[in-house]
């Protein structure tokens, strides 16, 4: 047994990286950036930042070894930082980083009876959980995937997510250019399309019959509308339909899953196995899309094992970050059996790769799972030039 290398310090940093084109593509008519730098996308009525926001967590052990985590903080990241600085960090001091699941359970318990089993509290917990797993890997000298029951994959198929161009012709050309680079799956976004069926038809024409085409419906429809629409898209060989109904509408999700002939993919907004469980039981989806920035490694694995029990595929979500939780998502996915794809947000991942160390990458249709120890990536020093001042 290793001697205890207890946690001595927990720090949290908010990073704001400038980007040239806003996430989801150029602004559309009526979309304006407010004084805090956010924009509301008219297509799905959701608020987005115009820079790449990230919340980084650094956990230091007595030996001086360091673990890095990152969480979902794209809107009001100050809320996550306050939870880490005030609640989670101080409780972690003195704890064993080689017992990450035990620590995760104890930190979840701190606020659960007050109803904080979702939202910002669990996002904060996800970030520190990733950092603790990284530290565990550094102490033992092993990649995180090998600590999760064994590393099954060294690379994972990547599907191209989002076509951030202003016109349909440009989006079709962009999709075709990714296919020419060796990618076999492409997803388009309903939030920024000029007609979903028209977009699907044009994309199918552009990429040919053998590419997997997916659509993110961005929670826009009632179950009835979604069923009618998805059935029309199936004429163009749809690989999966994502998030057709509002997040709370479990009945609607179930109705759509039953009525359509293609797989339904759900789950980027859920954080814990407790949220997934009733949806698995109701057979609301046949693909789950856990987001590492919301779940952390511990819950991602709980959810992934549950998917295994329900014979459901895992195609993890990818969000805005500098690459630390992407590395965690690849490590955890590498330990799961059925992962036909991992989402690839090229407009975020490629640009931000320069801010992390290690051999993580994505090329010719495949992610390279970073080699350890730990996550296999760390933030580079220059990231801290972009610290958001409170």
The minimum distance between CB 242 and Mg ion, in angstroms, equals: 5
Q: Helices in 50-195 by DSSP H: which ranges?
A: 77-83, 89-92, 100-112, 119-140, 144-147, 168-180
- Strand 287-288 and strand 46-49: pairing? unpaired
- Strand 46-49 and strand 38-41: pairing? antiparallel
Closer to Mg ion by Cβ: residue 43 or 358:
43
Contact 58, 10 (CB under 8 A): yes
The alpha carbon of residue 281 and the mean position of all alpha carbons in its chain are separated, in whole angstroms, by 23
SS3 state of residue 317? strand
Reported as type and span, the H/E element at residue 308 is: helix 292-309
Closer to Mg ion by Cβ: residue 70 or 216:
216
In angstroms, the first-to-last Cα distance of the chain is 42
The minimum distance between CB 161 and Mg ion, in angstroms, equals: 8
Count, residues near Mg ion per rule CB under 5 A: 1
The minimum distance between CB 114 and Mg ion, in angstroms, equals: 29
Burial per residue of 163-188, b for 16 or more beta-carbon CB atoms within 10 angstroms, e otherwise: bbbeebeebbebbbebbeeebbbbbb
Closer to Mg ion by Cβ: residue 133 or 300:
300
The minimum distance between CB 106 and Mg ion, in angstroms, equals: 32
**Considering Cα of 218, then 223, then 225, then 228, what sign does the dihedral take?**
positive
Stretch that binds Mg ion, among 37-45, 64-72, 209-217, 296-304 (CB under 5 A): 209-217
Stretch that binds Mg ion, among 13-21, 42-50, 171-179, 215-223 (CB under 5 A): 215-223
Closer to Mg ion by Cβ: residue 151 or 347:
347
Return the biggest CA–CA distance within the chain. 62
Reported as type and span, the H/E element at residue 186 is: strand 185-189
The minimum distance between CB 102 and Mg ion, in angstroms, equals: 32
The minimum distance between CB 96 and Mg ion, in angstroms, equals: 36
Closer to Mg ion by Cβ: residue 5 or 216:
216
The minimum distance between CB 10 and Mg ion, in angstroms, equals: 31
Contact 386, 16 (CB under 8 A): yes
- Strand 155-161 and strand 185-189: pairing? parallel
Q: What are phi and psi of 304, to 5 degrees?
A: -65, -40
Stretch that binds Mg ion, among 21-29, 126-134, 190-198, 213-221 (CB under 5 A): 213-221
Determine which residue in the list 199, 216, 291, 299 makes contact with Mg ion, applying CB under 5 A.
216
Q: Which residue is nearest to Mg ion (CB)?
A: 216
Stretch that binds Mg ion, among 10-18, 210-218, 323-331, 332-340 (CB under 5 A): 210-218
Stretch that binds Mg ion, among 81-89, 131-139, 208-216, 368-376 (CB under 5 A): 208-216
Closer to Mg ion by Cβ: residue 157 or 267:
267
Chain contacts with Mg ion (rule: CB under 5 A): 216
């Amino acid at each position: 047994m290793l001697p205890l290398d207890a946690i001595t310090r927990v720090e949290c940093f908010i990073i704001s990286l400038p980007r040239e084109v806003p996430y989801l593509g150029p602004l559309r008519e009526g979309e304006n950036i407010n004084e805090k730098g956010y924009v509301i996308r008219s297509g799905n009525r959701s608020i987005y930042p115009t820079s790449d926001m990230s919340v980084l967590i650094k956990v230091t052990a007595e030996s001086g070894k360091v673990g890095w985590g990152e969480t979902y903080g794209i809107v009001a990241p100050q809320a996550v930082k306050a939870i880490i600085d005030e609640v989670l960090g101080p409780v972690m001091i003195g704890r064993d980083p080689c017992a990450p699941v035990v620590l995760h359970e104890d930190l979840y318990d701190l606020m659960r009876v007050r109803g904080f089993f979702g939202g910002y509290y669990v996002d904060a917990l996800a970030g520190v959980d990733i950092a603790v797993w990284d530290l565990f890997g550094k102490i033992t000298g092993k990649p995180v995937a090998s600590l999760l029951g064994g590393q099954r994959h060294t690379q994972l198929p990547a599907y191209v997510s989002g076509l951030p161009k202003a016109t349909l012709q440009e989006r079709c050309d962009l999709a075709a250019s990714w296919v020419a680079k060796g990618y076999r799956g492409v997803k388009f976004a309903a939030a920024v399309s000029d007609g979903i069926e028209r977009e699907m038809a044009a994309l199918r024409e552009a990429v040919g019959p053998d590419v997997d085409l997916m659509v993110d419906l961005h929670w826009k429809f009632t179950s009835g509308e979604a069923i009618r629409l998805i059935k029309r898209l199936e004429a163009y060989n749809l690989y999966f339909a994502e998030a057709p109904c509002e997040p709370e509408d479990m009945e609607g999700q179930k109705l759509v899953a039953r009525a359509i002939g293609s797989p339904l993919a759900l789950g980027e907004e859920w954080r814990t196995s407790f949220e997934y469980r009733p949806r698995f039981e109701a057979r609301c989806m046949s693909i789950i899309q856990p987001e590492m920035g919301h779940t952390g490694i511990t819950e991602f694995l709980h959810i992934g094992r549950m998917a295994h029990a329900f014979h459901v595929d895992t195609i993890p979500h990818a969000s805005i970050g500098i690459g630390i939780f992407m590395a965690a998502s690849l490590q955890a996915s590498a330990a799961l059996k059925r992962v036909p794809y991992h989402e690839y947000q090229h407009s975020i991942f490629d640009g931000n790769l320069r801010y992390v160390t290690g051999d993580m990458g994505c090329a010719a249709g495949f992610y390279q799972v970073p080699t350890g120890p730990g996550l296999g990536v760390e933030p580079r020093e220059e990231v801290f030039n972009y610290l958001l001042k409170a």
